[in-house]
Copies of this chain bind each other. A is one copy, B any other.
Amino acid sequence: MITIDNISIPLPTIRRFPAYLRLLKEHANRGEVWISATTLAEELKLKPIQVRKDMACTGVEGKPKVGFLVSELVLAIEHYLGWDNTTDAILIGAGNLGAALIGYKGFENNGLRIIAVFDKDRRKVGSQIGGIVVSQIEDLAKTVDKFGINIAIITVPAHAAQSVAEMAVEAGIKGIWNFAPKNLNLSDNIVIQKTDLVTSFAELSAKLINHLDEQKQIQGK
């Protein structure tokens, strides 16, 4: 449960917000003005009741028989995700994954702009990655301070994650998006978001075993 503007929004709802947003923007582009929860549900394979509950969190009121104003929903969702203003972030770790994130088109219209890249490796410093010059990690604090950055994205190897995270926090970073497969130990007032590729794969693995098992049992009978 997350509270923004004194409104409590369940975390699963927050997670569904980006998918709604994408769809709503598509509809807006087609010139559509109204959309019903029923339609959204169908397109996202969710239950209408769940979409209505989620929409209720946005504070936008719908009209029975018509639905919701697309533009209102877009603005409300963007607001609760903090995407009404683009957030600047720094990235630490100029490897393959770092390059992928810098080049990722999806962030452009979704509130995230990576404005600086740092790496411990002196040989990478000065080189360009996705149009951004790699800086030495010693300059991190200066950049964070100068641009008032809150978010650091960590794409270094597991063994280096803890130490660069500490440097970032020291520099004033408030939120960390950690791609390294390592649990970070930081002060409680730092927000940590972990994206663990191995964990995602684990989920797929287990679901697939479960699924193939089921199919085998059905066929066996």
Instruction: Tell me, rounded to whole Å, the shortest Cβ–Cβ distance linking A187 to chain B.
Output: 12
In contact, A198 and B106 (Cβ under 8 angstroms): yes
Interface residues of A in 95-126 (CB under 8 A from B): 95-97, 99-101, 103-107, 110-112
Most buried by B among A202, A209, A210: A202
Interface flag for A193 (CB, 8 Å): yes
Interface flag for A53 (CB, 8 Å): no
Interface size on A, residues (CB 8 A): 68
Per assembly, the copies of the chain total 2
Residue of B nearest to A3 (CB): B210
In contact, B198 and A110 (Cβ under 8 angstroms): yes
Interface flag for A22 (CB, 8 Å): yes
Stretch at the interface among A30-38, A61-69, A139-147, A175-183: A175-183
Pairs across A and B, CB under 8 Å, 8 listed: A2-B210, A4-B210, A4-B213, A82-B208, A106-B158, A110-B202, A111-B205, A174-B208
On A, residues with C-beta under 8 Å from B are: 2-5, 9, 11, 14-15, 17-19, 22, 43-45, 80-83, 87, 95-97, 99-101, 103-107, 110-112, 130, 150-151, 157-158, 174-175, 177, 181, 183, 189, 191, 193, 195-215
